[in-house]
Homo-oligomer: A and B are copies of this chain.
Amino acid sequence: MSSQTEHPTLLIPGPIEFDDAVLGSMSHFSQSHVGPPFVATFGETLTMLRKLLQSSNPASQPFIISGSGTLGWDLVAANLAERGDEVLVLHTGYFADSFADCFETYGVKATQLKAPIGDRPQLPDIEKALKEKKYKLLTVTHVDTSTGVLSEIKALSELVHRVSPETLVIVDGVCSVGCEEICFDEWKLDAVLTASQKAIGCPPGLSISMYSGRAMEVFKSRKTPPSSYFASFKNWLPIMQNYEAKKPSYFATPPTQLINALHTALTQILSGSLNERFAAHREASKRIKDTVTSYGLKQLATKPENQANGMTAMYLPNEIKAPEILPNILKRGVIFAGGLHKEIAAKYIRFGHMGVSVTDPKRDDIQKALNVLKEGLNDVGYKAGR
C-alpha cells in the first residue's frame, strides 16, 4: 500500500506518479552540499546516469543541474553552438519549435524539417537536407510530449554519421529516458537531454543530460566563450567531474533533496533489467493503444512505428472537446492532460503511462484509467467501443 495521501492518479506525460521511497527521499534532512555524505550521493547519481543511458565510455560526461528540462536546450545552444552556426531541427511537435526558438535566442540559425502532425520527418528527406547544407548539430525529439510521436534514433544517428559525420546528434529525451531504449555509446549519440519528472520517476526540478567525448571536444574548441553563465559548461564541468570523483566543489548550491530522490529513483531502476523495463513500457503501451482504438479513438501518431511507448495522444470524437471530458475523468479519480499542439489543442487528450504506473505490480493505475476513460466518454454521450 502506498503511504501517500489519497489523491487522483496522475497519468499525464509528466510529472508522473512517484514511488513512496522516492518521495521519502525528497524530505531528507538537510545536508551540506559540500559534505562527504551528499558528495557521495551526488557522485553515485552521476555514475548511475551513465548506466541508465548505457554508456561506459569514460569520455562521456553527465550533468545534473538545478532547473527544468527546458534548461537542457540552453546547455546545447550556449555550449555546443556558436553565433552564426547552422543547426537542423527535426520537428515532430511543439518541442521542436521551442528548441529552435532557444537556438535563435543564442544567434544560432535553426532550420526546421517538419512532418505533418502525427508523423515524423523521413530518413530520405533528412539525408537530402544534410547534403544540402553543413549543419553543426542535428536535433531530434525522441518523444514529442505534445503529440506522442516517437522518433527512430538509431537509424537516424547512423544516417547522420554516414552522410554528415561532423554533425553532432542531439537527442531531446525528456519524455523518453527511462522508458524508451537508448544506447548512448552504441548509437554514437552526442547528447541526450532529459528531466527528472517523466520516466525516471523523480519530482521535477532537475535538468539531466549526457554528452559524448566528441561533443565535449566541440565545446573545448569553441572560438567564443559560452554565451550563458548559469548554463555554461565552463562553470559546470569541473563541478560534475569533482563530484563524480567524490570531491566537493562549488559553483551553485545543488538541490540536495532532489538529488537524493534521483539517487533513489535510479537505484530502483538499475536494480532491475533495463531491457525488461523498456519491454514493460512497450507492453503497457500496446495494451492502452489497442484498448483506446477499440473505444473508437484515433491516435495523433499515425503509424505503429512512430507511436511512443510512455504516452498516448488521442483525438477525441468530433463532438467532444477536451475541457468537457477531462473534468469528467478527474471526477472518477484520474488526471489526463489536454492537448498542447496549438493548432488542435482542444481536439485531443494525452495519457501518460510511464514509471511506477507501468512497472509496479501493486498498482492498478492503467486498468483504472482505461475504465475511467470509457465511463467518461459514455457519460458525455459517446458510446465508447460500440
Binding site for B on A (CB under 8 A): 4-5, 7, 10, 12, 14-18, 23-24, 26-35, 66-71, 73-74, 77-78, 101-102, 105-106, 195, 197, 203-205, 225-232, 250-258, 335, 337, 340
Complex: chain B residue closest to A73, CB-CB: B229
* Contact status B105-A226, CB under 8 Å: yes
Question: Would you give 21 A-B contacts (Cβ < 8 Å), ordered by A?
Answer: A5-B29, A12-B32, A15-B253, A23-B27, A32-B337, A33-B204, A66-B204, A66-B205, A67-B230, A71-B252, A74-B228, A74-B230, A74-B231, A105-B229, A106-B227, A195-B253, A197-B253, A203-B256, A228-B231, A255-B258, A258-B258
Contacts of A197 in B (CB 8 A): 253
Contact residue among B28, B29, B68 (Cβ-Cβ distance under 8 Å from A255): B68
A355–B164 alpha-carbon span in the complex (Å):
56
A26–B255 alpha-carbon span in the complex (Å):
12
Contacts of A26 in B (CB 8 A): 26-27, 257
A28–B20 alpha-carbon span in the complex (Å):
10
Complex: chain B residue closest to A103, CB-CB: B229
In the assembled complex, how far is the CB of residue A120 from the closest CB belonging to chain B, in whole angstroms? 23
* Contact status A71-B33, CB under 8 Å: no
Copies per complex? 2
A135–B256 alpha-carbon span in the complex (Å):
37
* Contact status B70-A203, CB under 8 Å: no
A98–B332 alpha-carbon span in the complex (Å):
52
Complex: chain B residue closest to A232, CB-CB: B105
In the assembled complex, how far is the CB of residue A353 from the closest CB belonging to chain B, in whole angstroms? 14
Residue of A35, A68, A256 ringed by the most chain B CB atoms within 10 A: A68
Complex: chain B residue closest to A24, CB-CB: B27
Residue of A35, A226, A255 ringed by the most chain B CB atoms within 10 A: A255
* Contact status B205-A258, CB under 8 Å: yes
Besides the known contacts A26-B257, A204-B254, 9 further A-B residue pairs in the complex with CB atoms under 8 A apart: A5-B29, A15-B32, A15-B253, A70-B229, A73-B230, A195-B253, A204-B256, A205-B255, A258-B258
Complex: chain B residue closest to A16, CB-CB: B30
Contacts of A230 in B (CB 8 A): 67-68, 70-71, 73-74, 102, 228, 230-231
